[in-house]
Chains A and B, each alone.
Chain A
C-alpha cells in the first residue's frame, strides 16, 4: 500500500461546528504532515509530526488542533473555524530523512459557511 488516504473528501461546516479530518498511511513512514492549499496557490505547511510527536507548528491558529494517535494515523480537529479557512487540506507522509519524498493524500476540500 503506497497511498495516503484522507477522509472525508469534502466537508461543509458552520463556524460553530466541531469536525475532524482523518489521514492514514501504511507505508511505515514516521513523519506526517498537514498542509493547507488555497485555490491556485501552493500548499502551505501547517504541522509536522515526527515519530508521533509534534515537531513543527507553523504558527497555526488554535482552532486547528492536530493529533497523531499512532504512527499510521493523523487527525486534524477543527473548531470555530472562519470562512477564510475554507481550503483543500492535504496530508502527507515520508520517511524521516531530509531528502525523502513526500507522499500526498488527495485532500479534504473544506468549506466553512
Chain B
C-alpha cells in the first residue's frame, strides 16, 4: 500500500530563512510525486511535480529514491509562502500526506 508521511505538522520560520518541508513515501514501484499548496481561503492547487523538475515560486523538490523522500525546499522564505503544504503520491488515485502548515513571520 502506498503511504505518504509528512512528519511536521507546523513549521515556523522568519522571512528570508531557508525552508525544508519533509516528505517521505512508501511505494512499490516508481512513484509519481506532487506538492500541493492550500493558501488561506483559496483552493488546493498544484505547486510542483517531480517529473517536471521545475522551480515554482522559488520552491524545488528532488526525488531521492534511496531515501524515499521528496522534500520541498526554498532558500529564502517569504511571508506569502505561509500556507498548508501537502505532499501527494499518485498511483491510480492521489494519496495525500497529513500536511505541514508553514508560517513565515516578518
Contact = CB atoms under 8 A, between A and B. Distances in A.
A42 B23 CA distance: 14
A43 B51 contact: no
Contact of A106 (B32, B43, B46, B99): B43
A101 B101 CA distance: 22
B43 A102 contact: no
A33 B92 CA distance: 12
Given A43-B44, A90-B44, A106-B42, A98 B96 contact: no
Given A98-B91, A99-B49, A101-B34, A42 B99 contact: yes
B96 A104 contact: no
Given A40-B99, A90-B43, 20 more contacts: A41-B98, A43-B44, A43-B86, A43-B96, A45-B93, A45-B94, A56-B93, A98-B32, A98-B90, A98-B92, A99-B32, A99-B49, A99-B90, A101-B34, A101-B49, A102-B46, A102-B94, A104-B44, A104-B45, A107-B43
22 contacts: A40-B99, A40-B101, A41-B98, A41-B99, A42-B96, A42-B99, A43-B44, A43-B86, A45-B93, A45-B95, A48-B93, A56-B93, A98-B90, A98-B91, A99-B32, A101-B46, A101-B49, A102-B94, A105-B43, A106-B42, A106-B43, A107-B43
